[in-house]
Each structure stands twice: as structure tokens, then as C-alpha cells.
Amino acid sequence: MAKLKIKFACTECGTETPKWLGKCPGCGSWNTMVEEKETVVKTQGMGSSIIQTKEKPRPIIHIESGEEQRIETTLKELNRVLGGGVVPGSLILVGGDPGIGKSTLLLQTSHALASKKLTVLYISGEESVRQTRLRADRLGALTDKLYVLCETNMEQINDAIESVQPDFLVIDSIQTVYDPGVQSAPGSVSQVRECTAHFMRVAKIKGIATVLVGHVTKEGAIAGPRMLEHMVDCVLYFEGERHHSYRLLRAVKNRFGSTNEIGIFEMGEEGLREVSNPSELFLSERPLGVSGSTVVASMEGTRPVLVELQALVTTTNFPSPRRMSTGIDHNRMALIIAVLEKRMGMFLQTQDAYLNVAGGIRLDEPAVDLAAAVSIASSFRDAPTRPFDVFFGEIGLTGEVRAVSRAEQRVKEAQKLGFKRVIMPSKSLKGWTPPSGIDIISVETVAEALTAAFG
């Protein structure tokens, strides 16, 4: 029997060292090294029939080309995020806060695929089969093609895969599964890495679409080494506020589609319901004629979304003013305030500034700069903008408004929702004809945009 050795592994990147270090030499993170036992030699019998393959290398010109075959589910929002549907043989990692609805989403997806006569195996390591059945009763996800097993031992899971031969496999969650050949606790770096690598081989060789559910850390990232995200084909984050019923499914990595798509759901008593028009959802509670409120046309993948931006600027008695933002990068907000101070002469050094994206969505693209600047200026001047104006455009450090992509889709979405004017960069008008029935005001600087907004 091999002698066990003690090693230390980083929970962020998986770097291994023979002794404990305060700072990881791989990623530079502090206090992330945890003690683990050295991995012993794996047995020959466990999973040998699954992980072996006799395929030989072939010239790339002799490999068949074409788009990946996809399996569409009844959840169109999920299909959009995945790039058109589930790809057979793909490995998908789904992360999210506890209780956000990951198991509900995957159980509804499993039922949708089982309804198409596909065999689905749902492995639950955190709930009993009776608890899963109670959730299925509530969701109406009952079909004889959906198999459920409560197991955490990799050997038993392999036997179940060989017995059922599923087309779709769900592991809920990867942190609970353990390999008997790895001498460390379930959820450790070695266990998570080894189990994920095994399921990756299963998915690729047998052509089984596999979904792994991952726990998240306090910072919201998927727990375990970062290499876990490099091993899978698709990484999805299920986001949302616990006190709100709306949930966002966001792709941060996708080898078979776009990484900018989002899917929006509403959590109800009977499970998740799709939200087909998110713009109406985010603007449903927008107050009219209030200073600091503007509407921005943002792009989430291929979908234009209209969202309300709210700003509050108020005088502070402290020497250092406070800057807070929700849904927008804090550094981007500081840049916009600096441009307003330098180029527009607004004295914001004695003002606290708060910026919020209503509805809980996060906007990462620079096209929201212009709307954020108008919102801050509106609150600072206590002058509301017109209630049916839409803004978008990137702001440069010299005060210019730079062009953004897909302006035509943004304008059409604003027109569809009944807005009257769009204030946008002049250089974004090239290559397309604005539709009739909506006024297009092209601007080149922030000063022109503010004149148009408050004129």
C-alpha cells in the first residue's frame, strides 16, 4: 500500500505545494491553501469501461464538419443562453446561491427532455429521492423517462450510468460526489477536480450531455479550483435577489454559443416561468417625471433590453464624498463623474453619488455611460428628463460620445415600447436607416447630450 503524504492545495487555482503558504504561488491569493492527503493509485476496475476509447488520431481534413446537433428544450430562455439547445456530449457547469432555484431549473429541464422520449438520469447528492419526488409533484415533472438516484459514491454512479444509459445526466451537486480512490474529503480540491475530469470523459466518450451543479463562495464565484471552469464546455450562473421573484441565467463561458446571452425567469409556486419581454418587466414600475431617472438601451447578447437607471446626488458633510453603484462597475461610475466635473463644470466633490440599475440586472457594456451621465446630471440639477427618452452611448475621457454596436436593434426596441426620442452617438447612424415614428437625436459630446435631454 502506498504511503500517504500531506500536501496543500489552493482552493482558487488548484496549485499544490508540499508545505503551507500564506500566499498561493500560482494565483497570488491569500489564505487559500488547504491541507489534503496525497492521492493514491486508482483501482483498475472503477469506470474502466467508461473512460477507455479506441479512437485513433485522424487528419483534420478527414473529420466531418458541420454545426453541432442540439436538443431543444421547452424553456426558450434556456435554449437562448445555451446557444440554441443542449449539445450531446457537452459538459455544463451551473452555479448560484443556495436556494436560488438551480435544482428547480434542472428538474424542469430534465422533464422537458424526458417528455421528448429522451432518457434522463438525475443524481441528487443533497436530497433524498422522496424530496425530489415532492418537488416534481409541485412542478408537474412526472414521466417514466426521468430516473432519480440519491448517491454520492462515484462507483455507484458509474453503475447507474451503465444501467440506465441516459441521454442527459444531472449531478446535483459536484461538491457532494467523491471518488473512493482519492484519499480526501468530498468537496476538497482533489475530489472536485478528479470527479469533474471523470464526468468530462464520460460526457465526451459516451455522448451524454452532462450538467454539474456547483456551490458558490461568498464572492459569488463557483467554489473549488478555477480550473474547474476550464474543464467544462459551458459555465452558467443563476442569479437573482432572494427577496425578488425574478431570476437571471447568465452564460460566462460557452464553447457552443455566445457568452453574452441572458435568460430571465420568474419564480412562482409551480416553478420557473419564462419572461419573454424583459424590457416591459424592468420598466413596469418606472416613475415618470422624477429627477435622476433615465432609460438605457442595453444589449444582452443578441437581445436589446431597456432598463431604468436611477441616480441620487446629495450634499455630504464629510470631507470624502461617497460613491456607490449597484448593477454598474464602480470604476466606470467614478470615470463618468470625473468627466462631468472636468468637462461640464459640475462641482460634485461635495456630493454623495449613488447609481442603481432597477430590477437587479447587471450592465457591463460601455453603452450605458451616456444614460448614467444624464441620470447623475439630472439628480444634481434636480431636473427630470422627458419620460419617453432613451439614451445609449460610450463616453470618452475628453467628453466625446463614442459609437456603440447594434444601434438599429436598440432603436427598434425603444420604438416597440412606445418611446418618442432616442439620444445616441452620431457615428452609430452609419449603415442603416432609422425607422419612422421615433425621433433620433445624434450627439457627439456629453454637452450636446445634456442640452438635448434638458432642452
Q: pLDDT by residue (tens digit) across 97-152? A: 888 899 999 999 999 999 999 999 999 998 999 999 999 999 988 999 999 999 99
Fold identical between 71-276 and 281-454?
no
Coil, strand, or helix at residue 243?
Answer: coil
7 vs 37: CA distance, rounded Å = 6
Bind-site residues for ATP: 96-103
Bind-site residues: 96-103
Q: Distance between terminal CA atoms of the chain?
A: 82
Third-level CATH fold of 71-276:
Rossmann fold (3.40.50)
- The type of residue at 122 is Y
Q: What's the mean pLDDT in 394-417?
A: 95
Beta strands in 100-214 (DSSP E): 120-124, 146-150, 168-172, 209-214
Burial 77-115 (b: 16+ CB within 10 A, else e): bbbbbbbebbbbbbbbbbbbbeebbbbbbbbbbbbbbbe
Q: With 0-12 CB in 10 A as exposed, 13-18 as middle and 19+ as buried, what is 155? A: middle
Instruction: Identify the helix (H) or strand (E) that includes residue 111.
Output: helix 102-114
Q: Domain segments of the chain: what residues?
A: 6-37, 71-276, 281-454
CATH classification code of 281-454: 3.30.230.10
Q: pLDDT by residue (tens digit) across 223-272? A: 665 667 888 999 999 987 766 788 889 898 999 888 878 898 988 888 89
Mean pLDDT lowest among 279-288, 306-315, 419-428: 279-288
Coil, strand, or helix at residue 24?
Answer: coil
